[in-house]
């Protein structure tokens, strides 16, 4: 079970990081493709994207641990959430290191 927990933790963290990178890239490059937006639709779209992102990343990080916890696998669920957050922290630190080296 330990190998399954580690595999799922890394998968959840990587999927979250890929999603965040995709959204950040879209937000960075969108003005170059669409030009300036002088409409109320832009803040509406950004807020909807924020709500969707919160739901999706919450599902990626907390979904499986919640199911495991409710299914009686409390120890594995707590291990999964902890390892997922540790893996996400490591990915974040790598990204910050790359940013510092880039600047």
Shortest CA distance to 88 belongs to which of 32, 2, 4, 21?
21
pLDDT of 52 > 90? The answer is: yes
Give 39's DSSP letter. Answer: S
Average pLDDT over residues 13-29: 94
- Quickly state the pLDDT bin for 75 (edges 50, 70, 90): very high
Shortest CA distance to 12 belongs to which of 73, 71, 89, 74?
89
Q: What confidence score (pLDDT) does residue 99 get?
A: 94
Average pLDDT over residues 34-49: 87
Mean pLDDT across the chain: 93
Q: What confidence score (pLDDT) does residue 72 get?
A: 95
- Quickly state the pLDDT bin for 33 (edges 50, 70, 90): confident
């Amino acid at each position: 079970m330990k190998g399954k927990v580690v595999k799922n933790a890394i998968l959840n963290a990587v999927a979250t990081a890929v999603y965040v990178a995709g959204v950040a890239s879209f937000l960075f490059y969108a003005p170059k493709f669409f030009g300036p937006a002088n409409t109320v639709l832009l803040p509406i779209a950004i807020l909807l994207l924020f709500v969707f992102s919160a739901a999706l990343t919450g599902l990626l990080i907390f979904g499986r641990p919640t199911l495991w916890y409710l299914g009686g696998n409390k120890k594995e669920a707590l291990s999964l959430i902890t390892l997922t957050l540790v893996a996400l922290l490591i990915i974040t630190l790598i990204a910050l290191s790359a940013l510092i080296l880039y600047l």
